[in-house]
Every structure is written in C-alpha cells, then in structure tokens.
Amino acid sequence: MNDAFVIHGNGFRFDCTDRTYVMGILNVTPDSFSDGGVYFDLEAAVAHGLQMAEEGADIIDIGGESTRPGSKAVTQAEELQRVLPVIERLSRTLTIPVSIDTCKAEVARQAIGAGARIVNDVSGMTADPEMGSTVAKAEVPVILMHAKGTPEDMQRSPWYKDTISEIKTWLAERIQYAEAAGIRHSHILIDPGIGFGKRVSDNLLILKSVKALHPLACPVVIGPSRKAFIGRILDLPEQERLEGTAAAITLGIAHGAHLIRVHDVAPMVRIARMTDAIVRARQE
C-alpha cells in the first residue's frame, strides 16, 4: 500500500491504491452547464443525492455556485442558502461523506458545521485567503484544483507552453501553501482541472498524463464528465456525452486517476470497477 494515496477523513478512509473512488456531482444551482436548475429544489436535490449514493457513489459533492465557463460569482449569502439545507439533510441520512464545492472560506466553514466532511475548492485555495486556515482548523480533506483564470474568463484563449509541467508546478506550490496553513499532507487531494482554462488538446493530454502528477504524493481527482471538450470532439450536447465521458474516465483511470467526479453515477461506477479489474489485473 502506498500511504501517499490514502485519504484519511472524519469517519472514512479511502485507500486509492485498492480501487477508484467515485464522487457524484450535485449542483444546487439554476445555471450549471449540464444540470442547472434540475436539482435547485431542496427535495429534488436530496432525492438525487440519495439516488447517487444508492448507485454506488463514495462521495456526494454539493455545489451552490456554477463554475461553468462564463459564469459569474454569487453572493456568500445566496450560496449558503442553496447548499446548507441539502448538506444538513444528506449528512444526517448518508453514511458516505458529503463534500462542499466552494471557493469561499465562510461557506466551507458553515458547510462543515452542517455535516460536510470534504472541501472541494476549484480555485486551489487562491480565491479566499481564509480557506487554508478554515480547512486546517476543521481537519478535513481538501481538493486543490488547477484553473487558469476564473470561471468568468478561463476559456478566453487559454495557452500553455508546457501544459503538464505548468499544472504540476502550480499544484506543487498549492500543496506547499496548504501545508504551511496547517493542513496535513494526508488531507490533500489534487485535480488538474479538466475544462478549467484548458484547450481541447490540453484536456486530452491531461487524461494521458495523470501519472505525471503522482510524484506530488497526493490522490489525483479528474472531472471530465460531460465537459465541453467531449462535445467539441463528438459534436454533441451535454446530455448526450455519456459515451465520451466513459472513454475519458476509462483512460483517466488507466493512466493513474484515483477519484472520478461524475454526473452519471451508476454507469461510471460500473466503468470504474471494470477498468480497475483490467488495470489492476485481478478479479474482485
């Protein structure tokens, strides 16, 4: 077992050397790129969270602010109003951890108080100077994601000289920042940020190069689910990108991803299990 790829949380332990873990996406927003408005109602959101858990999700990731390309930030009060009731309901019911997808430290703090056990920060803790101390004090795992720019401007002609090297260097700096803030290394996960300030070619290269991030000694999360690069390649809208997502997930796992963040939990759980069986060369 490689302890670098074991996630230690409050009431859970994920050994990512054993299998791939699945994070189900629950957007409590009116404008997310794929499912905006679908789970904006509290009862619909809770029902979907329970369904994803039943389908085999290991984590339910709840977000109250859209991060689709071109989206604008919402106020802290609005974000809290959206996510807290859902977190409270699901954390009381589920045995699997709930995570909060936010860049705001106060949202993270209140979400943890409501039952969230992981923080997923798409800014890599660059958006709010209080996020590091908030996560450290709560002693919860945090996902640090690479993004070039903000959701509002990140897809305006992104460019890299050496995509993987630049992402790796940036993530290494954020890991150092997190540790300096008091966050244990065993609580840090990293995400190369597919679709966040990336060209189609960058996203494809990331999927082939996940193992290049392994020397950072943190579990690697990938989130290609229904993303625009799949639509560009297949010329399909968001709701018809299941097969493209499946291909991306399969190759991402084969190349070293430890955790996948997906909309379509049931089929992706099956795909992850089958890919693990092939890649790890064993029967379950």
The residues assigned a catalytic role are 227, 261
- The 3-state secondary structure of the chain reads CCHHHEEEECCEEEECCCCCEEEEEEECCCCCCCCCCCCCCHHHHHHHHHHHHHCCCCEEEEECCCCCCCCCCCCHHHHHHHHHHHHHHHHHHCCCCEEEECCCHHHHHHHHHHCCCEEEECCCCCCCCCHHHHHHHHCCCEEEECCCCCCCCCCCCCCCCCHHHHHHHHHHHHHHHHHHCCCCHHHEEEECCCCCCCCHHHHHHHHHCHHHHHHHCCCEEECCCCCHHHHHHHCCCHHHCHHHHHHHHHHHHHCCCCEEEECCHHHHHHHHHHHHHHHCCCCC
